[in-house]
Amino acid sequence: MNQTLNETLNPQLQSWVVSANAAGCDFPIQNLPFGRFRTQGDSGWRIGVAIGDQVLDLRKAGLTDHADMHRLMQATLQERQALRQALSEGLRMGSTRQSAWEPALLAQSAVELGLPCEVGDYTDFYVGIHHASEVGRQFRPDNPLLPNYKWVPIGYHGRASTLQASGSSFHRPMGQVKAPDAAQPVLAPCARLDIELELGIFIGQPNAQGVPVSIQDAEQHVFGITLFNDWSARDIQAWEYQPLGPFLSKNFASTVSPWMVTMEALEPFRQPFSRPEGDPDPLPYLDSVSNRTRGAIAVQMEVVLQTARMAREGHAGDVISRSSFAEAAYWTVAQLVTHHTVNGCALRAGDLLGSGTLSGPTLAQSGSLLELTTGGKNRITLSNGETRGFLEDGDTVVLRAYCEGAGARRIGFGECRGTVLPARTEG
């Protein structure tokens, strides 16, 4: 985890891709995130790297001889760093590779961006302690934060089959719901559809079954981080979640942003990781000097809500929440990987770990409508006068994130966008 800051992170570097040099650009030359794209007529996905408003086709640029993202993700740390160095050198202002690489560039607006890789398994964690506490107060007022929370990184196994790329839409889910005063449940469209502001952690190097990953080595198994919206049906969740946790309330759709921001790009934004005074220290296998000194990552996040009416009127939507990964998370990336494998579980290239909802300590930092509206009791008023308790059909939610700090170039994650369609009540 103790990677050193190298020349690829020099904030003075400029690219011959002019759009990458613009202030506020998500994808300057210091970022270089990986994803997959295709153009009309392509039979499969290609591997690309975002630079400014363009995407560089790695195969066309001669940086890889294949289009298998899993194969690239399984590279060793040294191989990944060598590829990053080659990308940085080739895209810099004055590079001798400019004329050879220009034909390998395509406008992001002209291609289809898909899931960053094929996802074989997906685990959703619950690292946001403020979210866990508030949800507990609403679902279990007598016992809001269960005693295991501060000892065990809580998670559940989700459905990789319903992960979808940013820009996709999905139908409001059907499910069993039961009103407090009803004698029995009914099958109905979800009435309390919600968002969850999360980060996604993509595994690169696998570990063999039966061989746990130590916390010292955990981040070498992480390829990159993305934005993740785990749509949630709160009324279905309230009825089904005991005793085994979420099921149909979570597995109908989850949206993933198209770019994996590498751990190397995030290095300048490391922070010390600590727990509130009085909380127990983690067990030794979840603790290390490096995790304490540099385990947190300062990622700033925001949620934008655009109603159907806003879209018709050309309104981009309102920012309804802002939060921070470092402030919200009770567990680090390294701790999640280590705990996931301590029992011998094998992680594979392309496996996705969701962080869980990343809410801060204040109401304005809520990562879900469940918290922001106190379970729908206090509807929020948008700038055009519309109100929301939970999501309505036609609503679009956009997650955005970025890192910035002194002595470093601002980098972004792109956007994670999804739209709610009406429920399918037949067929």
At 199, which CATH number? 3.90.850.10
Which of residues 62, 91, 113 is at a domain's end? 113
pLDDT reported for residue 427: 60
Per the CB < 8 A criterion, the answer to whether 228 and 256 are in contact is yes
CA 308 to chain centre: 25
CA 60 to chain centre: 28
Same domain, 66 and 200: no
Has 131 been annotated as catalytic? Answer: yes
Among residues 131, 221, 339, 340, the one annotated as catalytic is: 131
Is 215 inside any structural domain? yes
Same domain, 240 and 261: yes
pLDDT reported for residue 423: 97
Extract the tokens encoding 40: 């009309």
Q: Which residues contact 397 (CB under 8 A, 6 or more apart)?
A: 195, 229, 303, 304, 305, 306, 391, 417, 418, 419
Is 1 inside any structural domain? no
Give the bridge partners for 305, in sequence order. Answer: 318, 397
Same domain, 143 and 98: no
Give, for 164, the enclosing helix (H) or strand (E): strand 163-165
Query: Between the CA atoms of 272, 275, 277 and 280, what dihedral angle is there, to the nearest 10 degrees?
Result: -130
How far apart are the C-alpha atoms of 150 and 132, rounded to whole Å? Answer: 11
How far apart are the C-alpha atoms of 337 and 285, rounded to whole Å? Answer: 11
Same domain, 109 and 131: no
The two beta strands, 380-381 and 387-388, are antiparallel
3-state secondary structure of 196: coil
Same domain, 346 and 280: yes
Per the CB < 8 A criterion, the answer to whether 25 and 32 are in contact is no
pLDDT reported for residue 1: 35
Measured CA to CA in angstroms, residue 392 lies from 195, 206, 310 at distances of 12, 40, 13
* Averaged pLDDT in 10-residue chunks for the chain of 427 residues: 72 98 97 97 96 98 97 95 97 98 98 97 95 87 87 94 97 96 96 98 97 97 98 95 90 97 97 95 97 98 98 98 97 98 98 97 96 96 98 98 96 98 86
At 97, which CATH number? 2.30.30.230
pLDDT reported for residue 418: 98
How far apart are the C-alpha atoms of 264 and 77, rounded to whole Å? Answer: 10
pLDDT reported for residue 4: 53
Is 2 inside any structural domain? no
Q: What is the reported pTM?
A: 0.96
Same domain, 306 and 390: yes
CA 400 to chain centre: 10
Same domain, 323 and 305: yes
Per the CB < 8 A criterion, the answer to whether 185 and 239 are in contact is yes
Domain ranges, residue 229:
122-421
Q: How many CB atoms lie within 10 A of CB 173?
A: 20
Same domain, 242 and 259: yes
Extract the tokens encoding 212: 């746990």
Same domain, 107 and 129: no
Which of residues 92, 113, 134 is at a domain's end? 113
* Total domain count, the chain: 2
Q: How many CB atoms lie within 10 A of CB 240?
A: 20
DSSP state of 15: B
Which of residues 48, 78, 113 is at a domain's end? 113
Same domain, 30 and 94: yes
Is 426 inside any structural domain? no
Is 407 inside any structural domain? yes
pLDDT reported for residue 139: 80
| Longest CA pairwise span in the chain (Å) | 74
Look up tokens 């008023």; give the residue.
381
Same domain, 234 and 377: yes
Same domain, 239 and 340: yes
How far apart are the C-alpha atoms of 166 and 232, rounded to whole Å? Answer: 17
3-state secondary structure of 110: helix
